[in-house]
Amino acid sequence: MKTYLFVWNPKRWTWETLEQDIEKVNLTGKCFQRWSCGNTKSIQRGDRIFLVKVGTEPKGIIGAGFATTEPFLERHWSGENKVASYIDIDFEVLLNSDKEPILTLNILKTGNLSQYSWIPQASGISIRPELADELEAVWFDFLTTQKIRHNPFVPAENETQITYTEGTPNQVTLTKYERNPFARKKCIAHFGLSCVVCGFNFEKTYGLFAQIVIQ
């Protein structure tokens, strides 16, 4: 899985449905968006996508998700008589900088992350694996420590389900977790690649492919 940085500039395109899209993420766990990927042709399904807001303050990361298609051509988003390359993205986190904190450039300009330009001119810029791992760690820490309205790591009202035991209704609160690669790597590093129920070892059977199998 590779990691790519995509760009949203409110000065060039007004995201009129941002609040509705954030609510959709909260209700369903993801929100579909079609986004221009610039000249990048190497994106594959399942690649990690981060979305950075530029153009107006505050600037920084406002979303993360996964590519669901490879690049394809479609009419340019500006409406001009030309085509552009796009991919489809399932965003699993979206933030509105007018209503909640985002992962600002001040944070992204610290440590090894300072080696990377977080305000690219176009979407689809590849992030080196070692920096992608650090970004995932910073993003994970940000989401688990900041006051986010629809935080994927805390229970929300829509995650309360009613179950029935011997005819008596009982409320059970479930906690939804983002499919965060950083959290997943830490879990695998700690528990390994064996099933805790039957003991089946995915690594011995599937080798490196085990990382994908247990996803």
Q: pLDDT digit string (tens) for 118-137?
A: 999 899 999 999 999 999 99
Q: Is residue 184 part of a domain?
A: yes
Q: Given this model, what pLDDT does residue 79 score? A: 79
pLDDT confidence of 149, banded at 50, 70, 90? Answer: confident
* 139 and 184 assigned to the same domain: no
Q: Given this model, what pLDDT does residue 157 score? A: 52
Q: Is residue 175 part of a domain?
A: no
Q: Is residue 122 part of a domain?
A: yes
Q: Is residue 174 part of a domain?
A: no
Distance CA 33, CA 43 (A): 15
Prediction pTM value:
0.76
Span 21-49, mean pLDDT?
Answer: 95
Distance CA 120, CA 104 (A): 15
Distance CA 157, CA 87 (A): 32
Q: What does DSSP say about strands 3-8 and 48-53: parallel, antiparallel, or unpaired?
A: parallel
Distance CA 104, CA 36 (A): 23
Q: Is residue 67 part of a domain?
A: yes
Give the rounded percent of residues in the chain with a pLDDT score beyond 70: 75
Domain boundary among 145, 172, 189: 145
Residue 134's CATH number: 3.10.590
The domain containing residue 88 runs over which residues? Answer: 3-145
Length of the chain: 215
Q: What does DSSP say about strands 60-67 and 160-165: parallel, antiparallel, or unpaired?
A: unpaired
* 70 and 117 assigned to the same domain: yes
Flag the least confident range among 8-22, 99-113, 150-164.
Answer: 150-164
Q: CA–CA distance from 19 to each of 1, 54, 63, 95, 159 (Å)?
A: 29, 18, 13, 9, 19
Q: Domains in the chain: how many in total? A: 2
Q: Is residue 158 part of a domain?
A: no
- Residue 102, phi then psi, degrees to nearest 5: -125, 170
* 115 and 28 assigned to the same domain: yes
CA torsion sign, 190 to 193 to 28 to 164? Answer: negative
Q: Is residue 55 part of a domain?
A: yes
pLDDT single digits (tens) 42-66: 999 999 999 999 999 999 999 999 9
pLDDT confidence of 138, banded at 50, 70, 90? Answer: very high
Flag the least confident range among 55-59, 98-102, 163-167.
Answer: 163-167
* 26 and 112 assigned to the same domain: yes
Q: Helix 181-191 crosses helix 129-145 at what angle (to 10 degrees)?
A: 100
Domain boundary among 89, 123, 145: 145
